[in-house]
Amino acid sequence: MELLAFGNTGWGDELFIATLMTIAVSITAMIIGFFFALIFTPLKLSKNKFLNFIGNSYTTVIRGVPELLVIYLFFFGGTGAVMYVASIFGYNEYIEINAFITGAFAIGIISGAYSTEVFRGAIQSIDKGQFEAAKTLGLNKFGQFFKIILPQTLRLAIPNLSNVWQITLKDTSLISVTGLVEIMRQSYIAAGSTRDPLFFYSFAAVLYLLLTFLSMKIINRLEIKYSRGY
């Protein structure tokens, strides 16, 4: 237990900060993912073949490729790309991109692919009459979507979005390969310096379990809130 003490003697405070970092990365990634879903869901639902193809290839490629590969691609490939662009402008020093931004972006793209699928399914399962009713009310396109379709979509999407959230939360452990100090990285450091990997990795597992447990509690409340009237 003294290994977990706060302050200079233990790893408690470091792990606590790392947990906050994990939460921050997952929330950022989830928000980035929503932006991607906002762009790609209409593409997937569009009747235009070309737009449809773009939307489909995004979700298919990202979901068919291991997450770790995407992160490596963004972190190492991203650094290479930025340095290449900089070298055109005559800057040849080594540039390192912020691990938080690349990590959150990589995970965001992944979770965006999953959220796109979720939203597509949810919108498709809404009754056609609702779209027609929205039109008859004389609302413009945005009004139709945000006032009538979206609230109903959320009710259907939240249970699946909670799965996406869990996936995102667990995927953040993969960002540790880029050196961002979140739970996984911190327990790696702690395990290395104390030579007690079993304890620290088990503790990391407990922390992740705690996070998923707490987020499930919150999401269940949201689910109840958005299912009012059903």
Partner 1 sequence: MDLELMINSFPKLLNAAGITLKLLSVSLIVGLLIGLFFAILRLNKNIFINRFAYGYSYVFRGTPLLVQIFIIYFGLGQIEYLRSTFLWIILKEPYWCAIIAFRFKYWSLHFRNLEICISNN
Report CA dihedral (16, 18, 24, 29) to the nearest 10 degrees.
-140
Considering the complex, state which of residue 32 and residue 169 has its C-beta at the smaller distance from partner 1. Answer: 169
- Nearer Cβ to partner 1 (106/123): 106
User: 64 with 114: CB under 8 angstroms?
Assistant: no
What backbone torsions phi and psi does residue 47 show, to the nearest 5 degrees? Answer: -85, -20
* Residue listed under structure tokens 């020093």: 93
In the complex, minimum distance from the CB of residue 17 to partner 1, in angstroms, rounded to a whole number:
18
Closest CA to 211 of 30, 23, 11: 23
Give kind and range of the element (H or E) at residue 198.
helix 197-226
Nearer to partner 1, 122 or 183 (CB): 183
Closest distance to partner 1 from the beta carbon of 187 (Å): 8
Q: Which of 211, 197, 217 is nearest to 11 (CA)?
A: 197
Query: Nearer to partner 1 by C-beta: 46 or 212?
Result: 212
CB of 117 to partner 1, least distance (A): 17
**Could you say which DSSP state residue 75 is in?**
I
Nearest to partner 1 of 160, 166 (CB atom): 166
CB-based contact 3:80 (threshold 8 Å): no
CA triple 104-108-114, angle to 5 deg: 155
| Shortest Å distance, C-beta 97 to partner 1 | 21
**What is the closest distance, in whole angstroms, from the C-beta atom of residue 145 to partner 1 in the complex?**
33
Window 159-218: residues binding partner 1 (CB under 8 A): 166, 170-174, 176, 184, 188, 191, 195-198, 201-202, 204-205, 208-209, 212-213
Contact characters 112-131, partner 1, x per CB under 8 A? --------------------
- How many CB atoms are located within 10 Å of the residue 96 CB? 11
User: Which tokens in the block code for residue 86?
Assistant: 């900089």
Shortest CB 82 distance to partner 1, Å: 17
DSSP 195: T
Q: CB-wise, 66 or 151, nearer to partner 1?
A: 66
Binding interface with partner 1 (CB under 8 A) = 166, 170-174, 176, 184, 188, 191, 195-198, 201-202, 204-205, 208-209, 212-213
